[in-house]
Amino acid sequence: MAKSLYLPEGYKPALTLRETQHAIKYIKDVFQQALSFAVTLDRVSAPLIVTKESGINDDLNGVERKVSFDIREIDGTEAEVVQSLAKWKRMALYRYGYKPGEGIYTDMNAIRRDDDTDNTHSVFVDQWDWEKVITRDQRNIEFLKDTVKAIVKAVSYTKRKVSLRYPQLKADICESPFFITTQELENMYPDKTARERERLITKEHRTVFIMQIGGKLASGEKHDGRAPDYDDWTLNGDIFVWNEVLGNALEISSMGIRVDEDALKRQLAECGAEDRMKFPYHKMIAEGTLPLTIGGGIGQSRLCMFLLEKAHIGEVQSSIWPEEMTRKCADHGITLL
């Protein structure tokens, strides 16, 4: 059973099952066009599987088990289902010849077998993964903030379009994100956990970008884990919106300016992961071959859940859930697809 399952009292979905299916497609159609325009991105195809030897699968927090298998016609090769495309996208920008100011996005489907299942987490992950080439002088906080604002505007635009089509949806979104670092957040709430801090700051400001995730705080603890070889921990963050149905913060995006040669070396050393420098991806960063980039992932089901005012992510995606969770949800008017 999940660590936590919240069952809102008196919950009743605003849309029927059939309306929900129509609305999911509408949201995806509208948002990906808005995102493409706001951040200047082309849509590309992306892999579901990569080889273990490539070193480009996302390690997330470094402890999650990947789904892997052999391939009959390729002896000695172990394939892995992607956990995200953080590294693959940067390689693709290099291979496809993208220049500064140009970028890509893709539909990313992944399996994260070790994720908890609750109202907002599933072992099946679907995101819009995106990546954009930048110049070295754009590797700064202000450029990061400007990009966050553009993404939030795309979300807000989609919300307006959805509300016009389904006026029974009443929840609102703040179009101006509030920016705060993890250290500033710890200083504000030193006696709270990271999740409690996220909830408190998002409840107050409605839309929040929490910055600088991955390194240790003054307390010696990390706000959250991040792999050391894609985000620069000083130039990254998560976008949160306030979810009225759950009465909690909802993370809809993790993003950041990616590591350059100096940040890669520093963060690998901090994690004791210098052995990753044997992989082509890491060598190409150290040598300056790969372009400097900014990128992230935006949860498709998370966004649909938020905009359609659903109590469980399973109302907008088909996945596998613990039997007890399915039963409890059904008893409280929550139908899992």
Residues belonging to the active site:
58, 112, 127, 238, 251, 254
∠ Cα 273 279 284 (to 5°): 105
Identity of the amino acid at 289: T
How many CB atoms within 10 Å of residue 293? Answer: 26
Q: Show the tokens assigned to 64.
A: 């999650």
Q: Return the residue matching tokens 């600088």.
A: 212
Q: Are 286 and 261 in contact (CB under 8 A)?
A: yes
C-alpha dihedral sign at 7, 11, 15, 17 = positive
Burial class, 9, CB count within 10 angstroms (exposed 0-12 / middle 13-18 / buried 19+): exposed
**Phi and psi (nearest 5°) for 261?**
-60, -35
How many CB atoms within 10 Å of residue 277? Answer: 16
Separation between Cα atoms, residue 120 and residue 199, nearest integer Å: 14
- Alpha-carbon dihedral 253, 259, 263, 264, rounded to 10 degrees: 110
